[in-house]
Each structure stands twice: as C-alpha cells, then as structure tokens.
C-alpha cells in the first residue's frame, strides 16, 4: 500500500485517500484467502484422474454461470475517488485521441501534398496536350490549304517533264529514221504497187501519229490507214511488233502497248 502515487494522494482528500486504502486492504485480504484455499486444496481428492477432470470442469462451469449473474460493483463508492478515476481515464483517452489526431493530420498533409503535385502534373500535361492539339490543327489546315495547290503544281511538272522527254524521244527517233529509213521518194521500180508517191508520209510521221492517238484517246487508239501510208512502212511496223492491226478492221492499226 506504500507504493500508491503521492500525486494521486495529493489530489484526493485525506478521508477519500484513507477510504481507498482501506478498500485495497480488504481486497488484498480476500485475495490472500483465496490463494491459501487453492494451495491447501488436495489434488488427490479423486483417485480417478478422468473423474477429477470432469468434476473440475463442472465446477468451473458452475462458477462461470455464477459470475455471469453477478452485477459488477464499483471498487469505491466515494464520489471523489470516482471523479478522480474518471478524470484519469478521460485524460488517458484524450492523450490517445491526440496521438490519433496527430497521425491523421500528418497523413492528411501528405495526401494534400500528393494531391497538389498530381494537380500540377495534370495541369502541365493538359497544357502540353492543348499545345500539341493546336499544332496538329495548324498543320492540318496548312496541309488542306496547300495540298490541292501542291498536287496541281506537281502534276504540271510531271506533264512538262513527260512532254520534254517525249520531244527528246521524237527527236532521237527522227534522227534514227532519217539516217536508216529515209522518207519515201519517187523511185522507178518494176512493181508499181511498191512505188511511193509524193503524198505518202514518212515512217516518223506514222509513229508520231500512232503515239499521239494512243496518248490522247487510250480507249480508242486505232488509226485508219489511208493512201498516205506507204504499205512497206505499215508492214515493217506489224512484223516487228511495234503496231497491231484491228481484229475486225484490217485498215486500222494501233501502237503496241509496251507496258
């Protein structure tokens, strides 16, 4: 009993303190009595250990039922003692709640910092996305604006390139034909059918006519053979696979498609 806290003694009045000490002593006496009864209890009361175990279990159950029916009573009935005990318990609970509150405030502050960082990151990403969207929109508008114009310019350049290439090919072809296949002239021959006249066109002119017809009207590339076509020239084109005769009209020929 001498170990009772002196601070608690100072808070209680002398009467309340003596009453509390007296109750402690009474409870201590009861505890010693129960302890002595347990020590003096003979363990060999029953010869059969199994029967002893059953008896102890029944006794324990009976004692448990008895304790369940007993209403708890206060250790002290003095209001001053109860007030101080309640005050101490409340201070203990308040201290625990302050610790919990401090923990959750710290956690709340951490979560607030995380939220601020996430909001800042989200704002930056939104700005980047808006900038990228605007840039893509401008590029799309520029593409739509200049696509038709660029296509037209590109097509014109290709047409001019093809025309220049065609003219170059025609010049080369004319030089080759002029050198190796001169235009038909009046030459005395025994076979009058093979004698060219002045109205007949050259092989270069025939080829140019076939190519122009093939390029201008690819759906109808045939050229009608008339009196200006020298038959040997037509035969050369057909035999060497440069021209093809119409399947239904022998007086029509077209340029062979070499692609």
pLDDT at 41 over 90: no
Residue-wise pLDDT tens digits, 87-139: 888 888 999 999 999 999 999 999 999 999 999 999 999 999 999 999 998 88
Confidence band of 2 (pLDDT split at 50, 70, 90): very low
User: Are 255 and 214 a contacting pair, CB within 8 Å?
Assistant: yes
Burial 125-149 (b: 16+ CB within 10 A, else e): eeeeeeeeeeeeeeeeeeeeeeeee
What DSSP character marks residue 46?
Answer: S
Least confident of 6-10, 151-155, 182-186: 6-10
Please state whether the predicted TM-score (pTM) of the whole model is above 0.85: no
User: Are 234 and 253 a contacting pair, CB within 8 Å?
Assistant: yes
Residue-wise pLDDT tens digits, 184-237: 764 445 454 555 555 788 888 888 889 889 888 989 999 999 989 999 899 989
Burial class (CB in 10 A: 0-12, 13-18, 19+), 106: exposed
Confidence band of 68 (pLDDT split at 50, 70, 90): confident
Confidence band of 38 (pLDDT split at 50, 70, 90): low
Q: What was the pLDDT predicted at 194?
A: 53
| Spatial CA neighbour of 209 closest among 229, 223, 195 | 223
Q: What was the pLDDT predicted at 225?
A: 92
H-run or E-run covering 126: helix 79-180
- Between 27 and 205, the higher pLDDT residue: 205
Strand order from edge to edge, sheet including 243-245: 223-224, 252-255, 243-245
- Name the β-bridge partners of 253: 223, 245
Non-local (6+) Cβ contacts of 256 within 8 A are 241, 242, 243, 244
């Amino acid at each position: 009993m001498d170990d009772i806290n002196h601070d608690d003694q100072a808070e209680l009045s002398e009467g309340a303190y003596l009453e509390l000490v007296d109750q402690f002593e009474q409870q201590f006496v009861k505890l010693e009595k129960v302890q002595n009864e347990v020590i003096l209890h003979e363990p060999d009361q029953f010869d059969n250990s199994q029967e002893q175990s059953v008896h102890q279990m029944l006794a324990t159950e009976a004692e448990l039922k008895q304790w369940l029916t007993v209403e708890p009573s206060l250790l002290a009935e003095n209001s001053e003692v109860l007030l101080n005990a309640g005050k101490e318990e409340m201070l203990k609970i308040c201290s625990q709640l302050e610790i919990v509150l401090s923990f959750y405030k710290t956690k709340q502050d951490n979560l607030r910092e995380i939220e601020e960082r996430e909001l800042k990151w989200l704002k930056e990403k939104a700005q980047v996305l808006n900038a990228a969207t605007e840039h893509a929109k401008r590029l799309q508008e520029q593409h739509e604006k200049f696509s038709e114009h660029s296509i037209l310019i590109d097509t014109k350049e290709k047409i001019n390139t093809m025309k220049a290439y065609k003219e170059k090919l025609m010049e080369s072809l004319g030089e080759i034909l002029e050198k190796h296949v001169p235009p038909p002239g009046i030459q005395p021959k025994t076979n009058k059918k093979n004698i060219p006249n002045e109205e007949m066109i050259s092989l270069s002119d025939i080829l140019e006519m076939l190519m122009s017809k093939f390029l201008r009207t690819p759906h109808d590339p045939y050229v009608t053979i008339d009196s200006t076509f020298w038959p040997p020239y037509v035969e050369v084109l057909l035999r060497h696979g440069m021209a093809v005769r119409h399947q239904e009209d022998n007086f029509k020929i077209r340029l062979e498609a070499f692609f």
